[in-house]
Chain A
Amino acid sequence: GAVVSQHPSWVICKSGTSVKIECRSLDFQATTMFWYRQFPKQSLMLMATSNEGSKATYEQGVEKDKFLINHASLTLSTLTVTSAHPEDSSFYICSVHGDRGPETEAFFGQGTRLTVV
């Protein structure tokens, strides 16, 4: 299966600053990657779909200007949280999906813990 790596694993930033999170597909060329957010004691919520070479598509309620996604290559997608606030503190997880059809599982990164102070 695909190996997905995120960087950093955790980050602490000051309120009002921006933070970039990288998601790399190490052994799989992914035209599409997915970004999720998970608050403590809650489930994963899909934020957006990252499309290589084109604009990301965002789920309802997710601010595209706040969560900037860039997918410049088949192995790298980045999520930038702009003007971060404490309420943006969360666990951010990316994933790639295999290309074997509907029976293909998803492969997730290890996640990035963002704390905004």
Chain B
Amino acid sequence: LAKTTQPISMDSYEGQEVNITCSHNNIATNDYITWYQQFPSQGPRFIIQGYKTKVTNEVASLFIPADRKSSTLSLPRVSLSDTAVYYCLVGEGSADSWGKLQFGAGTQVVVTP
């Protein structure tokens, strides 16, 4: 499983865009990049997933450069409720590791008024 590195924390104000970059230099060809959000005392929640280029859904965008050695989660116009820990995961779908997620330290995002 590829190791990921992301900032420990990020602060933002309401209404701003928050971009969290994750480094995964050892990403394998068949690895997908997935981001999860976790609120205190809750299980993580899936945000977005991508393989290459750009992916957008109703809550976030994920930018992946051509070399796939990093990715950036973009949260548009954050609100106070976006205060959470965000985890970047890179995993493969092999039978040996499928579903066995390796969480890094995550990024604590704090949104203030």
Contacts and interface: CB of A to CB of B under 8 A. Distances in A.
Contacts of A96: 99
B43 A110 contact: yes
A34 interface: yes
Taking chain B's interface residues, is the majority helix, strand, or loop, or is none over half, making it mixed?
loop
Interface of A: 1, 4, 6, 32, 34, 36, 43-46, 49, 91, 93, 95-97, 101-111, 113
B32 A44 contact: no
Nearest to B87: A43
Interface of B: 30-32, 34, 36, 41-46, 49, 51, 87, 91-94, 98-106
Taking chain A's interface residues, is the majority helix, strand, or loop, or is none over half, making it mixed?
strand
Given A93-B43, A111-B42, A113-B41, A106 B103 contact: no
A105 B99 CA distance: 8
Given A95-B43, A113-B41, A103 B87 contact: no
A101 B93 contact: yes
Given A34-B101, A49-B100, A102-B93, A43 B46 contact: no
A67 to B, nearest CB: 16
Given A106-B99, A106-B101, A44 B93 contact: no
Given A43-B106, A102-B93, A111-B41, A34 B46 contact: no
A102 B98 contact: yes
Contacts of B104: 43
7 contacts: A36-B103, A91-B41, A102-B31, A102-B91, A102-B92, A104-B93, A110-B43
Which of A4, A93, A104 is most buried by chain B, counting CB atoms within 10 A of its CB? A104
Given A43-B87, A102-B92, A49 B99 contact: yes
